[in-house]
Amino acid sequence: MNQFAPREVPLRRLEIAVRGVVQGVGFRPFVYQVARANGLSGWVRNDADAVRIEVQGAQDALDAFCEAIRCGHPPQARVESVEVRQIGVEDGVVGVFEIRTSDERALARPVIPADLATCPACLEEIQSPGQRRWGYPFTNCTNCGPRWSIIRRLPYDRPRTTMAGFAMCPACQAEYDNPADRRFHAQPIACPTCGPALELLDCRGRRLAGGAEALGRAAEAVLAGQILAVKGLGGFQLVVDATNAEAVQRLRGRKRRPHKPFAVMFGSLSAVEAVCELSDEEARQLCSVQSPILLVRRRAGQRPEVVEAVAPGNPYLGAMLPYTPLHHLLMAAVGRPIICTSGNLSEEPMAIDTEEAQRRLGSIADLVLTHNRPIQRPVDDSVARVGPSGLQVLRRARGFAPLPIILHRTAARAGRGVREQVILALGGHLKNAVALGLGAQIIMSPHVGDLDNVLSMEVHRRTVEDLVSFFEVTPELLACDLHPDYASTRHAEQLAAAWDVPLIRVQHHHAHVAACMAEHGLDGPVLGLSWDGTGFGTDGTVWGGEMLVCHRAEVRRIAHLRTFPLPGGDRAVRQPRRSALGVLFEAFGDRAADYLAGQFAPGEMAGLLSALKCRLYCPRTSSMGRLFDAVAALCGLPAVISFEGQAAMALEFAADPGELACYDI
């Protein structure tokens, strides 16, 4: 035997399951490239619950491969677990690694990311003459583009998305099949030859233009002061020139939104900085892949480019940057800040298809810029701010949903073999969102909104159906608010009866504290100060200024604000003067009228005082929100308001101009 002959290297084969957000982020192409670079053989595929890999080679190459999976994965992936076990070696497959067809047999689990903002490479493409996708508004790659708004079911492959109807042209197919291309297995891949296309319609649905001409004419309409409805990533948006006071007031009148702030889209970070004061962290968040609406302070002492009517009386703006190629191209053509707000009448849900937009937005918009890529589910813009502890998400939607929240205690129990129930939570009545608990993972739906009308309730029902069917589960337990008259509570009661499952009613302010505990990984006991508008209390009164001790599912109310009567109940939400009357009546009795002269008609004041004396339609409340409203009215701020929180915001700004109020764009 020749002692200098090369020794045969023993081979090993591993079976790997990677769980987390690992579909729609270029994870399979990444695995393919790492395997090829290390001379490994095997395969990778998407399953409904994970990315599964079989890989074979020498020990050192396998070690390098596993380290890359754990630590070197694509930036938008979120690896939560990597399960590895050794299996038998296969002969005759040396150096062959492939991406296999997905397997649908596993139980669907949250493995895809939220929709991702346009990456720098795609942005450069659409801005560069001579590129195949120059000026193309649906450009994307494995690092950006639509995900949650287009996927119909798992695993995440093109035939299971709303792109299924667009057959790839040879050039796109070549990119899709090329491991060296950043569009390798990019499911929403498209180009002007084979992808979605723009159309410009008038308010009656007549086609005015298509393609680049449609975009150009839409921009001209905005510059002329017209209102444009745009089919965006997750629904229709209403666009108007934010530097044109007359156009902004016209939008307010047609949308029936007289005072509530509008979000403003700027063409670049430098354009935001010209109008607003930005910290380094705020600039980073505006440019992030989530690209939220960010509440930032306006610059003082200069003539504002964005007119006051965009956010009247407010020292802050809800600023955002373009997050799709369509928005980038539109902003480049308009060349100035625009209002970019949800495509709806005030308090209604967004429209998501063209026929619906024509029907519901025809009285608001002058023109409709639409396209033929279907939207699977409505996804509104997220709203956030940067506070002392970093980013605070105030409305969790595009860029964040459906990324799961991990309950670490539940994960630990699952690791010990404890089975967890599938739980569906139906949310509250205002600023509603639905949540599905799959063991240690909580999947939050995008923001649904207020459930004050039939259209909003229909969206709520579809959201519930979508979560349950998408993840292919049957809830074993339902949760709803304690309030018996919330629309979400009644819906929960109907579902509990139909599915024959238990229904747990959760006190509103306990739910607020529990949500904070889940967000920050706290098990308890914790002392929670739940300062809110209103919520049905366990004693039958209206709560809202509570001090609660919470430990897991247990809660104890140990203190609260002194209660006062709320004349007219819910009517006080839009009439801070009623809250003021209730507070003053509690302190001074009939003399309360002396302090509110002129805020009520004489007959109205007499009727309210009579109701307060008789305790008729005057529920008692400990609400901090209604107390803020009362103080605002007593300070001469709006006695009647058009959106919840308006008076409290005005009070904050008057008391401390440097204070950033939480509000919903």
Residue the block writes with tokens 């002269």: 597
Give residue 302's pLDDT band: very low, low, confident or very high (50, 70, 90). low
Residue 601 is predicted with a pLDDT of 87
In single-letter form, the type of residue at position 428 comes to G
Residue 494 has pLDDT above 70, yes or no: yes
Q: Which of residues 249 and 75 earns the better pLDDT score?
A: 249
Residue the block writes with tokens 């493409």: 125
Residue 665 is predicted with a pLDDT of 40
Give, in order, the Cα–Cα distances in Å from 437 to each of 147, 404, 421.
21, 9, 8
Which residues contact residue 305 at a Cβ distance below 8 angstroms, ignoring those fewer than 6 apart? 242, 243, 274, 275, 336, 337
Region 309-318 average pLDDT: 93
Six-digit token string for 55:
């890989």
Determine contact, residues 464/478, Cβ cutoff 8 Å: no
The DSSP 8-state label assigned to residue 232 in this structure reads -
Region 134-139 average pLDDT: 98
What is the number of alpha carbons within 13 Å of residue 284 lying toward its C-beta? 6
Q: How, if at all, do strands 236-241 and 263-265 pair? A: unpaired
Longest dimension (CA), the chain: 114
Q: Which residues pair with 564 in a beta bridge?
A: 621
Six-digit token string for 29:
């192409």
Residue 73 is predicted with a pLDDT of 86
Nearest residue to 223 (alpha-carbon basis) of 108, 340, 335:
335
Residue 663 is predicted with a pLDDT of 44
Residue 523 has pLDDT above 50, yes or no: yes
**What is the layout of strands, in order, in the sheet containing 435-438?**
405-406, 441-444, 435-438, 422-425, 477-481, 503-506
Residue 338 has pLDDT above 80, yes or no: yes
Residue 410 is predicted with a pLDDT of 57
3-state SS class at 605: helix
Query: What confidence tens digit (pLDDT) does each residue in 208-220 have?
Result: 999 999 999 999 9
Give residue 61's pLDDT band: very low, low, confident or very high (50, 70, 90). very high
Q: How, if at all, do strands 367-371 and 228-231 pair? A: parallel
What are the backbone angles phi and psi of residue 173, rounded to the nearest 5°?
-60, -40
Query: What confidence tens digit (pLDDT) does each residue in 91-119 have?
Result: 866 668 988 887 766 666 767 789 999 99
3-state SS class at 162: coil
Six-digit token string for 60:
């050192």
Determine contact, residues 407/553, Cβ cutoff 8 Å: no
Residue 342 is predicted with a pLDDT of 94
Give, in order, the Cα–Cα distances in Å from 339 to each of 326, 329, 379.
15, 15, 18
Cα 293 to Cα 264: distance, rounded to the nearest angstrom: 8
Taken as a whole, the chain contains a residue count of: 665
B/e letters for 571-592, b = 16+ CB within 10 Å, e = fewer, are ebbebbbbbbbbbbbeeeeeeb
CB neighbours of residue 439 within 10 Å: 18
Nearest residue to 580 (alpha-carbon basis) of 552, 603, 562, 599:
599
For 577: left if phi > 0, alpha if psi spans -120 to 50, otherwise beta; the answer is alpha
Residue 664 is predicted with a pLDDT of 45
Mean pLDDT check: name the lowest of 60-69, 85-94, 362-371, 606-615. Answer: 85-94
Cα 497 to Cα 489: distance, rounded to the nearest angstrom: 12
Residue 283 has pLDDT above 90, yes or no: yes
3-state SS class at 393: strand
Give, in order, the Cα–Cα distances in Å from 95 to each of 39, 40, 42, 57.
6, 5, 8, 9
Q: What is the DSSP string of 486-506?
A: -HHHHHHHHHHHHHT--EEEE
Query: What confidence tens digit (pLDDT) does each residue in 347-369 have?
Result: 788 999 999 999 999 999 999 99
Nearest residue to 28 (alpha-carbon basis) of 190, 188, 189, 186:
186
Angle at 419 between CA 417 and CA 425, to 5 degrees: 145
Residue 238 is predicted with a pLDDT of 97
Which residues contact residue 543 at a Cβ distance below 8 angstroms, ignoring those fewer than 6 apart? 507, 508, 509, 530, 532, 534, 535, 536, 537, 560, 621, 622, 623
H-helix or E-strand containing 636?
Answer: none
Give, in order, the Cα–Cα distances in Å from 225 to each of 130, 218, 259, 275.
33, 11, 20, 21
Give residue 257's pLDDT band: very low, low, confident or very high (50, 70, 90). very high
Strands (DSSP E) found in 243-366: 263-265, 276-277, 293-298, 316-320, 338-342
The verdict on whether omega for the bond into residue 155 sits within 30 degrees of 0, i.e. cis, is: yes
Query: What confidence tens digit (pLDDT) does each residue in 552-567 have?
Result: 889 999 999 999 999 9
Mean pLDDT value across the chain: 91
H-helix or E-strand containing 246?
Answer: helix 245-255
Determine contact, residues 229/361, Cβ cutoff 8 Å: yes
Cα 565 to Cα 615: distance, rounded to the nearest angstrom: 8
Q: Which of residues 48 and 151 earns the better pLDDT score?
A: 151
Strands (DSSP E) found in 234-363: 236-241, 263-265, 276-277, 293-298, 316-320, 338-342
What are the backbone angles phi and psi of residue 257, rounded to the nearest 5°?
-135, 80
Residue 248 is predicted with a pLDDT of 97
Give residue 8's pLDDT band: very low, low, confident or very high (50, 70, 90). low
Region 150-169 average pLDDT: 93
Cα 65 to Cα 293: distance, rounded to the nearest angstrom: 39
Determine contact, residues 530/514, Cβ cutoff 8 Å: no
Six-digit token string for 297:
């302070």
Q: Is the dihedral of CA 618, 621, 624, 627 positive or negative?
A: positive
Nearest residue to 219 (alpha-carbon basis) of 125, 114, 137:
137
In single-letter form, the type of residue at position 191 comes to C
Residue 94 is predicted with a pLDDT of 67
